[in-house]
Chain A
Amino acid sequence: MELVYIAAALMISGAAIATGIGFGLLGGKLLDSTARQPELSDQLQTKTFIMAGLLDAVPMIGVGIAMYLIFVVAGG
Protein backbone atom coordinates (compact mmCIF):
# COMPACT_ATOMS: atom_id res chain seq x y z
CA MET A 1 0.00 0.00 0.00
CA GLU A 2 2.92 2.35 0.69
CA LEU A 3 3.92 1.96 -2.94
CA VAL A 4 0.68 3.65 -4.00
CA TYR A 5 1.55 6.73 -1.94
CA ILE A 6 5.09 6.76 -3.32
CA ALA A 7 3.75 6.49 -6.87
CA ALA A 8 1.26 9.31 -6.23
CA ALA A 9 3.97 11.50 -4.69
CA LEU A 10 6.23 10.90 -7.70
CA MET A 11 3.41 11.77 -10.10
CA ILE A 12 2.47 14.98 -8.31
CA SER A 13 6.05 16.14 -7.85
CA GLY A 14 6.94 15.27 -11.45
CA ALA A 15 3.93 17.24 -12.69
CA ALA A 16 4.86 20.22 -10.51
CA ILE A 17 8.49 20.19 -11.67
CA ALA A 18 7.54 19.86 -15.35
CA THR A 19 4.96 22.65 -15.11
CA GLY A 20 7.40 24.84 -13.21
CA ILE A 21 10.14 24.42 -15.81
CA GLY A 22 7.70 25.01 -18.66
CA PHE A 23 6.24 28.11 -17.06
CA GLY A 24 9.68 29.47 -16.27
CA LEU A 25 10.70 29.17 -19.91
CA LEU A 26 7.36 30.53 -21.14
CA GLY A 27 7.38 33.52 -18.78
CA GLY A 28 11.00 34.30 -19.58
CA LYS A 29 10.31 34.30 -23.30
CA LEU A 30 7.22 36.49 -22.79
CA LEU A 31 9.22 39.02 -20.77
CA ASP A 32 12.04 38.99 -23.29
CA SER A 33 9.86 39.39 -26.36
CA THR A 34 7.64 42.03 -24.71
CA ALA A 35 10.72 44.09 -23.89
CA ARG A 36 11.93 43.70 -27.47
CA GLN A 37 8.61 44.47 -29.18
CA PRO A 38 6.26 46.26 -26.75
CA GLU A 39 3.65 46.85 -29.45
CA LEU A 40 3.04 43.10 -29.67
CA SER A 41 2.58 42.59 -25.93
CA ASP A 42 -1.18 41.88 -26.12
CA GLN A 43 -0.75 39.26 -28.82
CA LEU A 44 2.17 37.67 -27.01
CA GLN A 45 0.23 37.53 -23.74
CA THR A 46 -2.71 35.81 -25.39
CA LYS A 47 -0.45 33.29 -27.13
CA THR A 48 1.30 32.65 -23.82
CA PHE A 49 -2.07 32.04 -22.20
CA ILE A 50 -2.95 29.40 -24.81
CA MET A 51 0.46 27.76 -24.53
CA ALA A 52 0.16 27.75 -20.74
CA GLY A 53 -3.16 25.93 -20.99
CA LEU A 54 -1.65 23.31 -23.30
CA LEU A 55 1.48 23.06 -21.18
CA ASP A 56 -0.26 21.97 -18.01
CA ALA A 57 -3.01 19.82 -19.55
CA VAL A 58 -1.10 16.54 -19.30
CA PRO A 59 0.47 17.22 -15.85
CA MET A 60 -3.00 18.06 -14.53
CA ILE A 61 -4.30 14.67 -15.70
CA GLY A 62 -1.34 13.10 -13.91
CA VAL A 63 -2.22 15.00 -10.75
CA GLY A 64 -5.80 13.79 -11.07
CA ILE A 65 -4.75 10.15 -11.39
CA ALA A 66 -2.40 10.58 -8.42
CA MET A 67 -5.21 12.01 -6.29
CA TYR A 68 -7.41 9.12 -7.41
CA LEU A 69 -4.72 6.69 -6.21
CA ILE A 70 -4.50 8.44 -2.84
CA PHE A 71 -8.18 8.96 -2.09
CA VAL A 72 -9.94 6.09 -3.87
CA VAL A 73 -7.48 3.24 -4.48
CA ALA A 74 -5.52 3.53 -1.22
CA GLY A 75 -8.27 5.08 0.86
CA GLY A 76 -11.10 2.84 -0.26
Chain B
Amino acid sequence: MQRPHRVAPARPKRPGVHRLLLAQVGVILTVVALSLIVGKGSVTLSALLGGLVALIPNAWFAWRAFMYRGARFRARMIGSLYRAQVGKYMLVMLLFAVVFSIVPPQAPVWFFATFALVQGVYGAGPWLIGRAGSH
Protein backbone atom coordinates (compact mmCIF):
# COMPACT_ATOMS: atom_id res chain seq x y z
CA MET B 1 0.00 0.00 0.00
CA GLN B 2 1.36 3.32 -1.01
CA ARG B 3 1.64 5.89 1.73
CA PRO B 4 0.19 9.32 1.04
CA HIS B 5 2.85 11.71 -0.06
CA ARG B 6 2.95 14.64 2.29
CA VAL B 7 4.21 17.95 1.01
CA ALA B 8 4.76 20.95 3.20
CA PRO B 9 2.70 23.93 2.03
CA ALA B 10 4.71 26.29 -0.11
CA ARG B 11 5.54 29.43 1.79
CA PRO B 12 5.23 32.59 -0.25
CA LYS B 13 8.57 34.33 -0.66
CA ARG B 14 8.99 37.74 0.82
CA PRO B 15 9.67 40.48 -1.70
CA GLY B 16 13.02 42.23 -1.78
CA VAL B 17 12.09 44.81 0.82
CA HIS B 18 15.56 44.47 2.31
CA ARG B 19 16.92 46.18 -0.81
CA LEU B 20 14.79 49.22 0.00
CA LEU B 21 16.10 49.31 3.58
CA LEU B 22 19.68 48.88 2.35
CA ALA B 23 19.18 51.78 -0.05
CA GLN B 24 17.98 53.88 2.89
CA VAL B 25 21.11 52.94 4.85
CA GLY B 26 23.14 53.90 1.78
CA VAL B 27 21.45 57.31 1.62
CA ILE B 28 22.21 57.90 5.31
CA LEU B 29 25.87 56.94 4.86
CA THR B 30 26.17 59.17 1.78
CA VAL B 31 24.69 62.19 3.55
CA VAL B 32 26.85 61.55 6.62
CA ALA B 33 29.97 61.36 4.43
CA LEU B 34 28.92 64.57 2.67
CA SER B 35 28.37 66.30 6.02
CA LEU B 36 31.84 65.22 7.15
CA ILE B 37 33.30 66.95 4.11
CA VAL B 38 31.11 70.06 4.27
CA GLY B 39 30.42 70.71 7.92
CA LYS B 40 31.42 70.08 11.48
CA GLY B 41 30.72 67.15 13.81
CA SER B 42 27.42 68.61 14.96
CA VAL B 43 26.20 68.63 11.36
CA THR B 44 27.17 64.98 10.97
CA LEU B 45 25.35 64.06 14.18
CA SER B 46 22.23 65.90 13.02
CA ALA B 47 22.28 64.14 9.65
CA LEU B 48 22.83 60.74 11.28
CA LEU B 49 20.01 61.25 13.76
CA GLY B 50 17.64 62.42 11.03
CA GLY B 51 18.41 59.30 9.02
CA LEU B 52 17.98 56.96 11.96
CA VAL B 53 14.66 58.54 12.96
CA ALA B 54 13.39 57.68 9.46
CA LEU B 55 15.09 54.28 9.12
CA ILE B 56 14.03 52.58 12.37
CA PRO B 57 10.25 53.09 11.89
CA ASN B 58 10.60 52.04 8.24
CA ALA B 59 12.31 48.80 9.28
CA TRP B 60 9.48 48.15 11.75
CA PHE B 61 6.92 48.89 9.04
CA ALA B 62 8.59 46.54 6.54
CA TRP B 63 8.74 43.73 9.11
CA ARG B 64 5.19 44.16 10.39
CA ALA B 65 3.48 44.77 7.04
CA PHE B 66 4.64 41.45 5.58
CA MET B 67 3.77 39.16 8.49
CA TYR B 68 0.96 37.60 6.46
CA ARG B 69 0.98 36.91 2.74
CA GLY B 70 -1.42 35.24 0.37
CA ALA B 71 -5.05 35.78 -0.56
CA ARG B 72 -6.26 33.31 2.10
CA PHE B 73 -5.01 35.62 4.83
CA ARG B 74 -6.23 38.85 3.27
CA ALA B 75 -8.09 40.01 6.39
CA ARG B 76 -4.99 39.44 8.52
CA MET B 77 -2.85 41.03 5.81
CA ILE B 78 -4.87 44.25 5.95
CA GLY B 79 -4.93 44.21 9.75
CA SER B 80 -1.19 43.75 9.82
CA LEU B 81 -0.73 46.66 7.39
CA TYR B 82 -2.85 48.95 9.57
CA ARG B 83 -1.00 47.90 12.73
CA ALA B 84 2.30 48.45 10.96
CA GLN B 85 1.28 51.98 10.01
CA VAL B 86 0.03 52.86 13.51
CA GLY B 87 3.24 51.50 15.00
CA LYS B 88 5.32 53.47 12.51
CA TYR B 89 3.48 56.69 13.30
CA MET B 90 3.90 56.20 17.05
CA LEU B 91 7.55 55.22 16.66
CA VAL B 92 8.31 58.31 14.56
CA MET B 93 6.69 60.58 17.14
CA LEU B 94 8.52 58.84 19.99
CA LEU B 95 11.90 59.05 18.25
CA PHE B 96 11.37 62.71 17.36
CA ALA B 97 10.46 63.47 20.98
CA VAL B 98 13.48 61.56 22.31
CA VAL B 99 15.91 63.21 19.88
CA PHE B 100 14.56 66.73 20.35
CA SER B 101 14.50 66.49 24.14
CA ILE B 102 17.86 64.73 24.64
CA VAL B 103 20.01 65.78 21.65
CA PRO B 104 18.40 68.79 19.91
CA PRO B 105 19.93 68.93 16.42
CA GLN B 106 22.42 71.75 15.95
CA ALA B 107 21.78 71.71 12.21
CA PRO B 108 18.02 71.22 11.76
CA VAL B 109 18.24 71.64 7.98
CA TRP B 110 20.56 68.63 7.73
CA PHE B 111 18.38 66.70 10.16
CA PHE B 112 15.17 67.20 8.18
CA ALA B 113 16.90 66.92 4.81
CA THR B 114 18.29 63.49 5.71
CA PHE B 115 14.91 62.46 7.09
CA ALA B 116 13.16 63.54 3.87
CA LEU B 117 15.77 61.86 1.65
CA VAL B 118 15.42 58.55 3.49
CA GLN B 119 11.64 58.76 3.19
CA GLY B 120 12.03 59.62 -0.48
CA VAL B 121 13.76 56.30 -1.19
CA TYR B 122 10.24 54.84 -1.43
CA GLY B 123 10.01 56.71 -4.74
CA ALA B 124 12.57 54.25 -6.10
CA GLY B 125 10.65 51.34 -4.55
CA PRO B 126 9.35 49.78 -7.77
CA TRP B 127 12.87 49.82 -9.24
CA LEU B 128 14.54 48.55 -6.04
CA ILE B 129 12.08 45.76 -5.34
CA GLY B 130 11.92 44.87 -9.01
CA ARG B 131 8.72 43.57 -10.48
CA ALA B 132 6.93 43.69 -7.15
CA GLY B 133 6.03 40.31 -5.72
CA SER B 134 6.71 38.46 -8.95
CA HIS B 135 9.63 36.51 -7.55
Contacts of A19 in B (CB 8 A): 85, 89
Check A68 against B132 for contact (C-beta < 8 Å).
no
B9 within 8 A of A: no
Check A44 against B65 for contact (C-beta < 8 Å).
no
Check B70 against A42 for contact (C-beta < 8 Å).
yes
Check B89 against A61 for contact (C-beta < 8 Å).
no
Within 8 A of B (CB), among A30-68: 30-31, 34-35, 38-39, 41-50, 52-54, 56-57, 60-61, 63-65, 67-68
Q: Which of A48, A50, A61, A65 counts the most chain B CB atoms within 10 A?
A: A50
Contacts of A70 in B (CB 8 A): 100
Contacts of B134 in A (CB 8 A): 42-43
Nearest CB of chain B from residue A54's CB, rounded to whole Å = 5
Identify which of B27-35, B37-45, B108-116 touches chain A.
B108-116
Check B122 against A64 for contact (C-beta < 8 Å).
no
Number of A interface residues at 8 Å Cβ cutoff, please give it. 38
| Interface residue range, chain B | 35 or more
B26 within 8 A of A: no
| A64 CA to B108 CA, complexed, in Å | 11
Check B122 against A27 for contact (C-beta < 8 Å).
no
Q: Which of B69, B104, B122, B134 counts the most chain A CB atoms within 10 A?
A: B122
Nearest CB of chain B from residue A16's CB, rounded to whole Å = 7
17 residue pairs bridging A and B, Cβ less than 8 Å apart: A19-B89, A23-B85, A27-B78, A35-B74, A38-B71, A38-B72, A38-B74, A41-B77, A44-B133, A45-B81, A49-B125, A50-B126, A53-B20, A53-B122, A54-B125, A57-B122, A64-B112
Interface residues of B (CB under 8 A from A): 12, 15, 17, 20, 53-54, 58, 61-62, 65-66, 69-72, 74-75, 77-78, 81-82, 85, 88-89, 92-93, 96-97, 100-101, 104, 108, 112, 115-116, 119-120, 122-123, 125-126, 129, 131-134
